[in-house]
Every structure is written in structure tokens, then in C-alpha cells.
Amino acid sequence: MQPRITLLHNDFPAIIQGQQTLLGAGREVSNGLYAYQTVGQKVAIRTNQLVALQRAVDFTRELLKYSSATYTDMLTSQQSLRAAQFSSVNDCLRQLQATTDPHHALGGGWR
């Protein structure tokens, strides 16, 4: 004979709250994994952008050497490269955060 479990009327709110907690954690994990994937794609695109901007700086430097470009052109190309490098660091930070978000959503971590 199997034991019969009876639920009291007072137990239903606790069950519903438990289900809502599980659904919320599942949603947070899903959002974290999606964020990690999209940031990973962004990092790949940003890497291509950095390569192209570094080439632009090199070309502008060569043009400056032969008086085909101004010093302002050189500064502008370097500024674009530095801005993209800063964005790349920011993307890497977001990727690291997206790595830890699902872990925290499942109750891990030190907080």
C-alpha cells in the first residue's frame, strides 16, 4: 500500500510560490545564456572591426608619411581604433558577467 499524501488548503500558496520561483530561475538562466550567446557574437564582430581599424591606422600613417593625409586624419583614425578597443573591453566584461548570471540565478555564488 502506498502512502497517501494529502495537501491542506494552506499548502497551495507554498506550492504555487515554489513553482513561480522555479519558473523565475529558469527564465533568468535562459536570459543569461541568450546574453552570453549574443555577446559572443558581438565579440567576434568587434574583433573584425579592430582588425579593419588597425589597418586604417597603418594606411593613414603611410599616407601621412608621403603627405597624402593630414595629421588630423591620423588622429581621427587612431581615435576610432581606441574607441573600438574600449568597446571591445566592455564587450568582454559583459561576456564574463553573462557567464556568471546563470550561476547566480541557480543560487550559486557568494552573495
Q: Does residue 67 lie within any of the structural domains?
A: yes
Instruction: Note whether residue 68 is domain-resident.
Output: yes
The whole-angstrom separation of Cα 109 and Cα 100 is 8
Give a yes or no: residue 43 inside a domain: yes
Q: By residue range, what is the domain housing residue 96?
A: 20-104
Residue 31 falls inside a structural domain:
yes
pLDDT tens string 63-83:
999 888 899 999 999 999 999
What are the CA-CA distances from residue 1 to residues 4, 7 (Å)?
9, 19
**Domains of the chain: total:** 1
Asked whether residue 3 is assigned to any structural domain, the reply reads no
Amino acid type, 95: Q
Whether residue 98 is contained in a domain is answered as yes
pLDDT computed for residue 88 by the predictor? 95
User: What integer pLDDT is reported at residue 61 of this predicted model?
Assistant: 93
Residue 10 placed within a domain: no
pLDDT at 22: 84
Low-confidence ranges of the chain (pLDDT < 50): none
Task: Tell whether 30 is covered by a domain.
Answer: yes
Q: Which three cell numbers mark 4?
A: 497517501
